[in-house]
Amino acid sequence: MTTETTEQRREFIAGLRALADFLEATPSVPCSSSEERLLLPLHTNTAVQEFAAAHGLTVEYDEDGNAQINLPFGPITYNVYGYADFDAHYARRQEKQARTWAADHGLALFPAEGGAA
């Protein structure tokens, strides 16, 4: 682990503790009344499987074969996830985002000559 990574980790954990202390000390500030998730994207199923093996956890897979682990801490879930094919997932996400932007601006996307969209 690099010093920068170690420092970022320390700052993140300190921030979580400070948030908890603030919420506990300031009852007038609302907390979320629903379940919340902290997300840890590991990008690949292999990385999620390695994480699970290192911590004695069970991996769950969705209908697309994407892996995830949910670690509940009261109403907060630490969600570790990856994808069966991250590149394909990212390409679909980018296309969807582009099509949404185009539709929101009264435009449409069409395949380039000789290409597919």
In this predicted structure, what is the pLDDT of residue 110?
85
**What is the value of pTM for the model shown?**
0.69
Q: Domain spans of the chain? A: 1-31, 33-104
Per-residue pLDDT tens digits for 22-49 = 999 999 999 887 889 999 999 899 999 9
Q: Write down the mean pLDDT value for the chain.
A: 90
Stated as kind and residue range, the H or E segment containing 44 is strand 36-44
Q: Which residues pair with 67 in a beta bridge?
A: 61
pLDDT tens column, 78-91: 999 999 888 887 88
Q: How confident is the model at residue 117, as a pLDDT?
A: 54
Q: What is the pLDDT of residue 91?
A: 86
Sign of the C-alpha dihedral computed for residues 82, 87, 88 and 94 taken in this order: positive
